[in-house]
């Protein structure tokens, strides 16, 4: 079936059948035999995700992603998730800088391995900041956040989010 679908010319494969086992077999065949550069397998059981990642298979687990997204929406209503990476373990979020953080530096909002300021949008342009960049009132801050650190980010931003 993969050959009939033109797997040997494919740039990517999404294995999204109803069976985790089938998805992993399809993904491994595409990656190892047919050398498809981008392969993703959907898993219904998130307990297997790490094993498959160790086999070199990128996975998405809708259940895990869904739980994290629900938690964000219920607990961190002022964080606007613009992109989820991996299986939802890392998010790109955007937030209007709380006025209390104006005058503070990027370094003060950075937690190594958990929260990084990726970019700042200010006065119609977006730029990559350094750790010493000073926030200004009205800044829109784009952060890369470990999914499990959303609550820490909310705490760092304070209760009065913009």
Q: Give residue limits of the domains in the chain.
A: 7-60, 64-157
Q: Identify the H or E element spanning 108.
A: none
For the domain made up of 64-157, the CATH class stated in words is alpha beta
Looking at every residue in the chain, the average pLDDT score rounds to: 85
Q: What is the pLDDT of residues 17-72, one digit of tens each?
A: 999 889 989 999 999 999 998 888 988 888 888 888 788 788 888 777 777 667 65
Query: Can you tell me whether residue 115 is helix, strand or coil?
Result: strand
* Distance from C-alpha of 159 to C-alpha of 55, rounded to nearest angstrom: 42
CATH number of this structure's domain 7-60, picked from the four choices 1.20.1280.290, 1.10.510.10, 3.40.50.720, 3.60.20.10: 3.40.50.720
User: What percent of the chain clears pLDDT 90, i.e. is strictly above it?
Assistant: 39
Q: Are 12 and 27 in contact (CB under 8 A)?
A: no
Q: Give me the mean pLDDT over the 83-101 stretch.
A: 84
* Distance from C-alpha of 97 to C-alpha of 140, rounded to nearest angstrom: 6
Q: Are 157 and 101 in contact (CB under 8 A)?
A: yes
Closest listed residue to residue 95, CA positions, set 114, 118, 123: 118
Q: Which residues contact 9 (CB under 8 A, 6 or more apart)?
A: none
**Residue 95, both tokens:** 């937030």
Q: Which of 6-15, 43-52, 141-150 has the lowest mean pLDDT?
A: 43-52
């Amino acid at each position: 079936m993969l050959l009939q679908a033109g797997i040997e010319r494919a740039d990517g494969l999404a294995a999204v059948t109803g069976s985790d086992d089938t998805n992993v077999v399809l993904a491994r065949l595409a990656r190892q035999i047919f050398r498809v550069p981008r392969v993703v397998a959907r898993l219904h059981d998130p307990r297997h995700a790490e094993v498959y990642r160790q086999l070199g298979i990128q996975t998405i687990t809708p259940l895990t992603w869904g739980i994290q997204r629900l938690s964000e929406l219920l607990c961190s209503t002022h964080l606007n998730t613009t992109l989820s990476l991996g299986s939802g373990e890392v998010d790109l979020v955007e937030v209007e800088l709380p006025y209390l953080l104006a005058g503070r530096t990027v370094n003060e909002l950075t937690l190594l391995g958990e929260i990084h300021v990726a970019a700042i949008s200010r006065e119609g342009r977006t730029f990559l900041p350094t750790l010493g960049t000073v926030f200004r009132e009205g800044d829109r801050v784009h952060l890369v956040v470990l999914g499990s650190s959303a609550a820490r980010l909310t705490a760092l931003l304070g209760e009065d989010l913009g």
